[in-house]
Amino acid sequence: MNYIESMITDGLAFGLPLFIMALGGIFSEKSGVTNLAVEGFQGFGAFVGAFLATVLSLKTPLGSQIILYLAIAAAFLGGALYASLHALLCIRFDADQVISGVVINILGVALTTFLTSQINGFLFGNASNKFILDSSFRFSVPLLSNIPILGAVFRNIYPFEILILILGLYFWYLMYKTRFGMHLRASGENPHALDSAGGNVRRTRFLSVMLSGGLSGIGGMCIAYSLLLQYSPSIYLGYGYLAIAAMIFGNWNIVPTFFVCIFFGLARAGGYQLCLFMKLSSRYTDLFMTIPYILTLVLLVFFSKRSHPPRAAGQPYDKGER
């Protein structure tokens, strides 16, 4: 496989998990709750999924692929559960949403690192802060994968990539074609109008934040399987913040955000392939991995003034105000 094809394959494997996290951020912010906690949601969700995967692989005869799907489901539930803390602080107690998100991220790192070490020491006799995961199988689409260059899109695909595409379509439909989606968007644009029409602003926001956590957890679990082959504190490497940046550049819309995430994924993979092409020492790899973050800074210069967040994003809802 040449460098360009490897860049496409690896770029999709990173860009799609990034997209599902950004999609979670969109659901939260479209409902009116500012969400800087994607990093913490994806880390805690991945922790729950990785713990389940580790236990199942050691204690049951289940195959690695069944365990993968169960781990992703557990990551969704774990991320949603952890996100309920952010929802409770911001919606029930009207806490500052930016501060809450930052605290959720810091707490996620400390809590999951502690729990991973304690669980490993208690169950496995090894106080490591890592859960080692089995590698996921990859497949290629016959005929299409043989197309030069573009065939890389259909080659060495992780199963979760297909799952993310399906979820992306489903949640696009949920956002723009359902009653719940209409309420969600109204909650972030004009919550008083939603309340006057009989909608429940607080419930809509609470469910949206929990969905955000669940989707972020899926993204974290997919990154653990594809990039790291383990769960460890290295899951908190700024991927959540990169997903937030993609959401902003996508102007809080699902389709543009998808393409921004793919662009970031290709940039990251391209940096790594460039390092290989130049035959540089492995110590330069981390330098090339900064390319998506440098691109984020550059894009901020051109797009920051064009961003239009939901009008009520970050504003606690007070039923008495009009």
* Higher per-residue confidence, 138 vs 126: 138
Which residues have C-beta within 8 Å of that of residue 192, sequence separation ≥ 6? 321, 322
Neighbours of 203 (CB within 10 A): 12
SS3 at position 236: coil
Q: How does pLDDT run across 149-167, given as a tens digit for each residue? A: 889 999 999 999 999 999 9
Closest residue by Cα to residue 225 from 17, 3, 6: 17
What digits encode the pLDDT tens for the residues 84-121?
999 999 999 999 999 999 999 999 999 999 999 999 98
CA 129/CA 283 separation, integer angstroms: 24
CA atoms within 13 A on the CB side of 225: 34
Q: How many residues are listed for the chain in this entry?
A: 322
Residue the block writes with tokens 């106080």: 127
Tokens 């993968």 sit at which residue? 68
Q: How confident is the model over 260-299, as pLDDT tens digits?
A: 999 999 988 888 888 877 877 666 777 777 877 888 788 7
List, for residues 189-216, the tens digit of each pLDDT value.
Answer: 999 999 989 899 999 999 999 999 999 9
Q: What is the pLDDT of residue 9?
A: 93
Which amino acid is located at 103 in the chain? V
Nearest to 88 by CA among 205, 184, 198: 205
- Token pair 């039923």: residue: 319
Please name the residue that has the structure tokens 């994806």: 42
Q: Whose CA is closest to 41, among 67, 76, 74, 14?
A: 76
Query: What is the pLDDT at residue 27?
Result: 97
1 membership: H or E segment, kind and range: none
Report the SS3 class of residue 32.
coil
Q: What is the pLDDT of residue 124?
A: 78
Least confident range from 10-19, 36-45, 237-246, 274-283: namely: 274-283
Could you tell me which residue, 319 or 257, shows the higher pLDDT? 257
Please, are residues 317 and 90 in contact by the beta-carbon 8 Å criterion? no
Query: How many CA within 13 A on the CB side of residue 164?
Result: 31
- Note the pLDDT of residue 320: 63
CA end-to-end span of the chain: 61
CA–CA dist 68, 221 (Å, integer): 9
The distance of Cα 193 from the centroid of its chain, to the nearest Å, equals: 31
For residue 131, the cross-strand partners are 231
Mean pLDDT value across the chain: 91
Question: Count of CB atoms within 10 A of residue 6's CB?
Answer: 18
Q: What is the pLDDT of residues 63-77, one digit of tens each?
A: 888 999 999 999 999
User: The tokens 């906690």 sit on which residue?
Assistant: 37
Q: Which residues contact 287 (CB under 8 A, 6 or more apart)?
A: none
Main-chain dihedrals φ then ψ at residue 59, nearest 5 degrees:
-110, -5
